[in-house]
Homo-oligomer: A and B are copies of this chain.
Amino acid sequence: MALLSSGKLANLLRLADAGGRFKMLAIDQRDSLRNALGKAAGREPADITYEDMAATKALITESLAPYSTATLVDPVYGLPQAVKVIPGDVALLVAAEETGYERAGTGNRERKSRLIQGWSIAKAKRAGANAVKLLVYYNPDVSSEVLSFQQRLVERVGKGCAEEDLPFLLELVTYPSEETSGDTPEFARKRPRHTIESAREFSKGQYYVDILKLEFPGDLKYSREFHVGVFDGRERAPVYSLEEIQGYCREVDAAAQRPWVILSGGVDIREFLTNLELAIDAGASGFLCGRAIWKDAVPRYPDLAAMRAFLTSEGAYNFIRANAVAERARPWFAHLPFVRWEDLRVADDGQEWYQRYQER
């Protein structure tokens, strides 16, 4: 019998479609969006104002949230506008982490994540969030000091979500700690293991994770089938085959003892759709995707009308294609730790439930 508390169950149902599949939009980018807007407008990132960020996010949210089952915003620039433009039948996810990271470890190549100062899980819940999302940078090969720092942060947020009875979506993103860049054969080679090990670690009960948001376990641009520049015109040295990558996807699914969704990490839409197909073949429950869907609107900034024209045509088309792929996703309640819808129940239900259920 799979037991869930009332708030977790009610809000998990809101995040997914009627079949239990996640088709989620991310518009919680901060520094990466600020840099892209600066580039588009020929201005320094520091000259992009709060209002520039808020207006861009509101425009993307208004245009694309209606295609999603849930939309992820940040509380700083996004939430106050998003609440009005996200349709009532689309759920609201709110990011908990501060943008970027603190450098740490040997040669300052390691990363510690931080929470947004002045924000909290209790505030997210009160403001109407249906789930809290936390991004942590996690490369399983770095120092145990940094790994344990990141683990403690996840534990803290997981417990906080349990106290508020709110679903907890954990995003895990690796990074190169030895290579010159993430776009190298050496790092491409490591990606599958990083994703698999991270999924295994954060499926442990002490983290109270409800949904894992994972990177695709490999880089198709380094696959034998796609290495000749299929996605971005640049040829790279192949490091694995598509069949091997399919095996990594299955390993992710086995390691994840939680429903998992795939992120886009800013790859182009064609590459993302291929990632999504492969992840869903292996048992992913959908996607939480931002830039792959809407990033081509950003070079049009500050022409908001041109951005809107892109978002409501190409952007919407991108979303519809991703949704079509996700129709085949495994429903969240069919993944571990649940497996059978019939067995799912509110924990501790029965005659005295309402008295025993806690306020915090």
Tell me if B79 and A14 are in contact (CB < 8 A): no
Verify A123–B359 contact, CB threshold 8 A: yes
Q: How far is the CB of A339 from the nearest CB of chain B, in Å?
A: 15
Distance (whole angstroms) from the CB of A272 to the closest CB of chain B = 25
Residues on the B chain within 8 Å of A75, using CB = 353-354, 357
Q: Are A127 and B76 in contact (CB under 8 A)?
A: no
Contact size class for A?
A: 35 or more
A19 → B minimal CB distance (Å): 10
* Given A81-B346, A165-B128, A357-B127; A50-B87 close (CB under 8 Å): no
A265 at the interface (CB under 8 A from B): no
A13 at the interface (CB under 8 A from B): yes
Given contacts A83-B346, A88-B13, A349-B81, contact A6 B127 (CB under 8 A): yes
Q: What residue of chain B has the Cβ atom nearest to residue A17's Cβ?
A: B88
A144: CB under 8 A from chain B? no
Question: Within the complex, which residue of B11, B14, B346 is in contact with A89, where a contact is CB–CB below 8 Å?
Answer: B14
With A123-B354, A351-B50, A354-B116 as given contacts, are A18 and B87 in contact (CB-CB < 8 Å)?
yes
* A6 and B87 in contact, given A128-B165, A359-B120 (Cβ under 8 angstroms): no
> Does chain B have a CB within 8 A of A16?
yes
Question: B346 and A80: CB pair below 8 A?
Answer: yes
In the bound complex, CA of A358 to CA of B127 (Å): 9
A159 within 8 A of B: no
A119 in the interface (beta carbon within 8 A) = yes
The answer to whether A355 has its CB under 8 Å from any CB of chain B is yes
Query: Which of B10, B50, B83 meets A127, CB within 8 Å?
Result: B10
Distance (Å) between the CB of A34 and the closest chain B CB? 14
Interface hits, A209-262 → B, CB 8 Å? none
Closest chain-B Cβ to A133's Cβ sits at a distance in Å of 15
B89 contacts A127, C-beta separation under 8 Å = no
A92 at the interface (CB under 8 A from B): yes
Smallest beta-carbon distance A74→chain B, Å? 9
Among candidates B11, B69, B346, B354, residue contacting A76 with C-beta atoms closer than 8 Å: B354
* Contacting pair B128 A79 (CB below 8 A): no
- Chain B proximity mask over A71-100: 1 for CB below 8 Å, otherwise 0: 000011001110110111101100000000
A79 B6 Cβ-Cβ under 8 A:
yes
Provide the A3-42 mask, 1 if CB < 8 A to any CB of B, else 0: 0011101110111111000000000000000000000000
> Is A354's CB under 8 angstroms from B119's CB?
yes
Most chain B CB within 10 A, of A76, A350, A354, is at A354
Given the complex, which residues of B lie within 8 Å of A84, measured CB to CB? 9, 13, 344-346
Query: Can you list 24 pairs linking A and B with CB atoms under 8 Å apart?
Result: A5-B127, A6-B79, A6-B83, A6-B127, A6-B128, A9-B84, A10-B83, A13-B88, A14-B89, A15-B88, A18-B87, A18-B88, A75-B354, A75-B357, A76-B354, A80-B346, A116-B354, A119-B354, A122-B359, A123-B354, A123-B359, A126-B165, A126-B358, A127-B165
Give the B-binding residues of A (Cβ under 8 A). Answer: 5-7, 9-11, 13-18, 50, 69, 75-76, 79-81, 83-84, 86-89, 91-92, 116-120, 122-123, 125-128, 164-165, 344-346, 349-351, 353-355, 357-360
